[in-house]
Amino acid sequence: MLTFYIGGLTIKLVHLIYVSMFAAIMGVLGLLPPIPLGFSPVPITLQTLGVMLAGSILGARLGPKYAALSQVLFLLIVATGMPLLSGGRGGIGVFLTPSAGFLISWIASAYVIGYLCQRLKTVVVWKMLLINLVGGVFVVYLIGVPVQAMMMEIPVTQAAIYSLSFLPGDVLKVVGASFIAVKLYHAAPFMKEARA
């Protein structure tokens, strides 16, 4: 089977296309209408669910580098002008706003989730929950909040307080991603052979 050599990594063509497909799925998830929550002013957008899935599914099977690569690829496509971010945003402009840090954190987020998932001996829902909380929520805010503070030139604590309103939605996405990943682990025979 055809292989490439990328950054010291041997990559099969089919794996490269898996990464492309995940980037496309990220785009589709961003276009779905957000789910409003009764107790929070911020509705749930499904895009970051895609980040968690990239780590939990792609990263768990092929490795964390592939999960991170899918996010790099998605952000490159957004930069070309496709309105794939939630609310129909796209273009280079989205990287010049204070939210840019959260976008870039998706790369690290997918990598961390993929790295931890790959090391799992047994795939159980509660372990997936913990992994997605660390990678999908903690890492994202760890990177996004300081960048937001820096670009708006306000204190980090102020930016952190503002970000709290997104927390309930993110936690719910962690639950959703974990259940989907576990279901797919047992249901999808395709990618099992792919690692070989």
Partner 1 sequence: MNQSLIIGQYVPGESVVHKIDPRLKLIIIFIFVIAVFMANNIWSYVSLYFFVFASVALSRIPVAYIFKGLKPVWWIIIITFMFHLFINSGGNVIVSFLGINVYEQGVFQGASIATRFFLLIILATLLTLSTTPIAVTDAVEALLKPLKKVRFPVHEIALMMSISLRFIPTFMQEMDKISKAQAARGLDYTKGKLKDRFKALLPLLIPLLISSFKRAEDLALAMEARGYQGEEGRTKLRQLSFSKIDYIVIISLIVFLVSFYMIRV
Measured CA to CA, the distance from residue 55 to residue 140 in angstroms comes to: 13
Number of CB atoms found within 10 A of residue 61's CB: 22
DSSP of 91-156, one letter per residue? SGGGGGSTTHHHHHHHHHHHHHHHHHHHT-SS--HHHHHHHHHIIIIIHHHHHHHHHHHHHHT--H
DSSP state of 90: -
CB of residue 108 to partner 1, shortest distance in Å: 19
What character string, x for contact with partner 1 (CB under 8 A) and - otherwise, covers 19-48?
Answer: xxxxxxx-xx--xxx-x-xx-------x--
Q: How many residues bind partner 1 (CB under 8 A)?
A: 65
Q: Under the criterion CB under 8 A, does residue 168 sit at the interface with partner 1?
A: no
Single-letter amino acid, residue 81? G
Q: Which residues contact 80 (CB under 8 A, 6 or more apart)?
A: 91
CB of residue 84 to partner 1, shortest distance in Å: 7
What residues between 63 and 92 interact with partner 1 by CB under 8 A?
73-74, 76-77, 79-84, 87, 89-92
Nearer to partner 1, 121 or 193 (CB): 193
Measured CA to CA, the distance from residue 169 to residue 19 in angstroms comes to: 26
CB of residue 182 to partner 1, shortest distance in Å: 11
- Answer for which of 4, 43, 125, 156 binds partner 1 (CB under 8 A) is 4
Q: Under the criterion CB under 8 A, does residue 97 sit at the interface with partner 1?
A: yes
Query: Which H or E run contains 170?
Result: helix 167-187
> Which residues here bind partner 1, judged by CB under 8 A?
1-2, 4, 6-7, 11-14, 16-25, 27-28, 31-33, 35, 37-38, 46, 53, 57, 73-74, 76-77, 79-84, 87, 89-93, 96-99, 152-154, 158, 172, 175-176, 179-180, 183-184, 187-188, 190-191
